[in-house]
Amino acid sequence: MSSPHESAAAGLDSGAASVTPAVAVVVVAAGSGQRLGYGIPKARVPLGGEPILMHTLRGIVAAGVARQICIALPKGDGELRRLCEEFSTELVDGGPLLTMVDGGATRADSVRAALRAVESGTDAVLVHDAARALTPETVFHRVVNALAAGAAAVIPVIPVVDTVKTVAVTNGDDARIAPEIVTGTAPREDLRAVQTPQGFELATLLRAHEAAESFDDEQSAAITDDAMLVELLGVPVHAVRGASQSLKITTPLDLILAEGLLEGPLGIRWVEG
């Protein structure tokens, strides 16, 4: 039997004069998940009867693009570590290597901790939020295809349906009327909502994160994804089509939506029952 990496490589290469890179997927799962209100790390919150992280890992393995999955876990979370170890025993021969590391105080710290554990010989890294438990395989394939075609950075995006405005905190007389005032309207046709997995040439991502290590607290807090750091280097970031079911489970409403997606006609096939 061919390994998941080989079989995916065959599919990904079809029709394109490109070389499939050796890919590691970094999964950032060290967030507290406070906005979900469960009082436990988000990666452990049940979805369809299983922790969110298990869905995310199964999705990555099913996509067949990774030779290694590096997971940044909440520091000292023995339960999640045990679940990951159990999951790694389920993987078939030739499947991805699973590596667990302690995450950091910020998302970027967690990415850096995982990057330190990436095996030598890796060409490209996909950074994926554990909270995007239902990302379809096709999104992973589009990202890896763009890397194989020569992109140094690629992100999955979806169109924005709401009108988006910029605002400022009001003061003086305006503050008596409302807490914020509109300062502008961004042209919606140019806007995209950004998802993960975000794919990068390994050397580019390492350079971007090295630069970010000298950021002050305010600058660090403003970093919400990895592509931002690569943009700061002046490296072009390409955009491919994401998927609406690749939502980041953040609020109780997102969890209800994700449960509905699992139960609906597009239900994820590895959920039993």
Is 73 in contact with 43 (CB distance < 8 Å)?
yes
Between 144 and 247, CB nearer to ligand C5P: 247
The stretch among 17-25, 28-36, 81-89, 171-179 that binds ligand C5P (CB under 6 A) is 28-36
Write the DSSP symbol of residue 72.
E
- Site residues for ligand C5P, window 34-63 (CB under 6 A)? 42
Which of 110, 135, 198, 245 binds ligand C5P (CB under 6 A)? It is 110
Residue nearest to ligand C5P (CB): 31
Between 48 and 103, CB nearer to ligand C5P: 103
Q: Produce one character per residue of 163-193: b if its CB has 16 or more CB atoms within 10 Å, e if not.
A: eeeeeeeeeeeeeeeeeeeeeeeeeeeeeeb
Is 130 in contact with 196 (CB distance < 8 Å)?
no
Is 20 in contact with 12 (CB distance < 8 Å)?
yes
Which of 106, 122, 138, 170 binds ligand C5P (CB under 6 A)? It is 106
Total site size for ligand C5P, rule CB under 6 A = 17
The stretch among 23-31, 63-71, 86-94, 145-153 that binds ligand C5P (CB under 6 A) is 23-31
Secondary-structure percent of the chain, ordered helix, strand, coil, rounded to 5: 40, 20, 40
The stretch among 99-107, 186-194, 201-209, 227-235 that binds ligand C5P (CB under 6 A) is 99-107
Which of 77, 129, 201, 226 binds ligand C5P (CB under 6 A)? It is 129
Q: Can you tell me the distance from the alpha carbon of 62 to that of 201, in angstroms, rounded to the nearest whole number? A: 22
- Site residues for ligand C5P, window 151-190 (CB under 6 A)? none
Q: What tokens does 110 get?
A: 């967690």
The length of the chain is: 273
C-alpha count within 13 angstroms, C-beta hemisphere, residue 234: 0
The stretch among 25-33, 88-96, 159-167, 231-239 that binds ligand C5P (CB under 6 A) is 25-33
86: exposed, middle or buried (Cβ count in 10 Å: 0-12, 13-18, 19+): exposed
Which of 8, 9, 25, 29 binds ligand C5P (CB under 6 A)? It is 29
Fill in the per-residue mask, 202 to 221: x = in contact with ligand C5P (CB under 6 A), - = not in contact.
--------------------
Amino acid in the structure at residue 10: A
Which of 31, 64, 199, 242 binds ligand C5P (CB under 6 A)? It is 31
H/E stretch holding 167 reads: strand 165-169
Q: Are strands 23-28 and 238-241 parallel, antiparallel or unpaired?
A: unpaired
271: exposed, middle or buried (Cβ count in 10 Å: 0-12, 13-18, 19+): middle
130 binds ligand C5P, rule: CB under 6 A: yes
72 binds ligand C5P, rule: CB under 6 A: yes
107 binds ligand C5P, rule: CB under 6 A: yes
Residues linked to residue 187 through DSSP beta bridges, in sequence order: none
Tell me the closest approach of the beta carbon of residue 38 to ligand C5P, in angstroms. Answer: 13
Tell me the closest approach of the beta carbon of residue 171 to ligand C5P, in angstroms. Answer: 29
Binding site for ligand C5P (CB under 6 A): 28-31, 42, 72, 103-107, 110, 129-131, 248, 250
